[in-house]
Amino acid sequence: MPRTVLVTSTTPACRHVVSKLLSSPDCPAIRVITRSAVGIQETFPPQLRSEPHSIILVEDFRGPVFAAAFRGVSVVFHNGPVLLPSEETMAIATIDEARIARVEHFVFCSVLQPIRVKLTTHKVKLRLEEYLIESRLNYTILQPPHYMQNVSIRHSLVTGKIPLGYSPNTSHGFIDLVDLATVVRNIVMDPVQHRFARYEIVGQNISYNDIASAISRISRRNVRCDVMTSQEFVEKMRTSEEVRNEYAEDSLMRLLVYYDRWGLTGNTNVLRWLLGREPGTWEGYVRRELS
Ligand SMILES: NC(=O)c1ccc[n+]([C@@H]2O[C@H](COP(=O)([O-])OP(=O)(O)OC[C@H]3O[C@@H](n4cnc5c(N)ncnc54)[C@H](OP(=O)(O)O)[C@@H]3O)[C@@H](O)[C@H]2O)c1
């Protein structure tokens, strides 16, 4: 069992992994890296704020506090924020520090089919996968599709809409973040079994129109896709924290155009095998959120 697991950011996947590890009977010590913000400590589960767990505030991933966070760590879980010009340098710094600290295993949460290099968001991941594979660290690479949790069921019920910047008829792969966290927990607890693996982890392929129908049927409320042009969608996102520069805007625009034409589907066999059960579905996600 690993002594200390380092979770390198506070993305939704990282937060699900932390919760899953905390709820495991054989929970290792968890160390989470976060940027400092008012009240940030309170956004973590209370158990994480006391020994043996810790929350490390890091302002600069090139600084000594960042490097020190890797000391004594057995397993790193890295899932960096997307649409950041610094995504690649942050991830490379993370891999380098893991190597210096002689970390035993590095779990990188990438993206489904990074070979789709027309997408900037995927092209970055392909380079990072190569960098990790050539780092001589023991690694596992996870390649998830869209997270079901990108759609807030409660918000869709309040507004009656799922906002979308591409076709609602195109199929996409999805994974329930609970399943992703379960897979990470299993790897963290037994990393040797998953050494040098790259796993495509898809739970279900489905279109957003069919998702809206499922939410409507289960909730008995009317929810539909609110389809905008890619320009309208980017304009809407411009006011958010995620789209603050030309890099983010350009990456997002490419993603919308690509998803409209191709979608992003994959196969569910690997996730079923990793979980030892059927992967979570939209039906299950919606019912859980409404219960
Ligand atoms: N979303 C998906 O469907 C999906 C699917 C497959 C793969 N991925 C991959 O998963 C990763 C995360 O994407 P995401 O969409 O889940 O999350 P995200 O929107 O990229 O990340 C959200 C969180 O990251 C933290 N963050 C943002 N900017 C930061 C910065 N400059 N420094 C440190 N932390 C920062 C913030 O947490 P705080 O507010 O707590 O600071 C923010 O809430 C990406 O690499 C993406 O490619 C995502």
CB distance 180 to ligand 1 below 6 Å: no
Burial of 181 (0-12, 13-18, 19+ CB in 10 A): buried
Residue whose C-alpha is closest to residue 135's, from 184, 109, 97: 97
Measured CA to CA, the distance from residue 14 to residue 241 in angstroms comes to 19
Helix (H, G, I), strand (E, B) or coil at 22: helix
Cβ of 8 less than 6 Å from ligand 1: no
Which atom of ligand 1 approaches the CA of 90 most closely?
32
Ligand 1: residue whose CA is nearest its atom 39: 10
From ligand 1's centre to the CA of 9, what distance in Å?
8
- Nearest-atom index, ligand 1, CA of 121: 47
All structural domains of the chain with their residue ranges: 4-148+174-203+265-280
Closest atom of ligand 1 to 146 CA is 3
What's the Cα-to-Cα distance from 18 to each of 15, 21, 188, 199, 211, rounded to whole Å? 5, 5, 11, 20, 28
pLDDT of 242 reads 79
Q: Compute mean pLDDT per 10 residues along the chain, 291 residues long, and list them.
A: 91 97 96 92 91 95 95 97 94 98 98 98 98 98 98 98 98 98 98 98 98 98 98 89 90 97 98 98 98 95
Say how many Å lie between the CA of residue 244 and the centre of ligand 1.
14
What pLDDT does residue 266 have? Answer: 98
Ligand 1 atom nearest to 112, measured from its CA: 6
Mutate to test the pocket of ligand 1, among 11, 34, 89, 183 (most ligand atoms within 8 A of CB): 11
Rounded Cα gap, residues 87 and 147, in angstroms: 19
- Which of 9, 108, 202 is the pocket-test mutation for ligand 1 (most atoms within 8 Å of CB)? 9
Which pair of structure tokens corresponds to residue 270? 């690997």
81 close to ligand 1 (CB < 6 Angstrom):
yes
Q: What is the second-level CATH architecture of the domain 4-148+174-203+265-280?
A: 3-Layer(aba) Sandwich (3.40)
Gap from CA of 35 to ligand 1 centroid (Å): 12
Cβ neighbours of residue 259 under 8 Å, at least 6 residues apart?
Answer: 166, 167, 170, 172
pLDDT of amino acid 1: 66
| Nearest atom (ligand 1) to Cα of 83 | 20
173 Cβ closer than 6 Å to some ligand 1 atom: no
What is the C-alpha to C-alpha distance for residues 206 and 17, in angstroms, rounded to an integer?
25
Statement: the pTM of the whole predicted model exceeds 0.85: yes
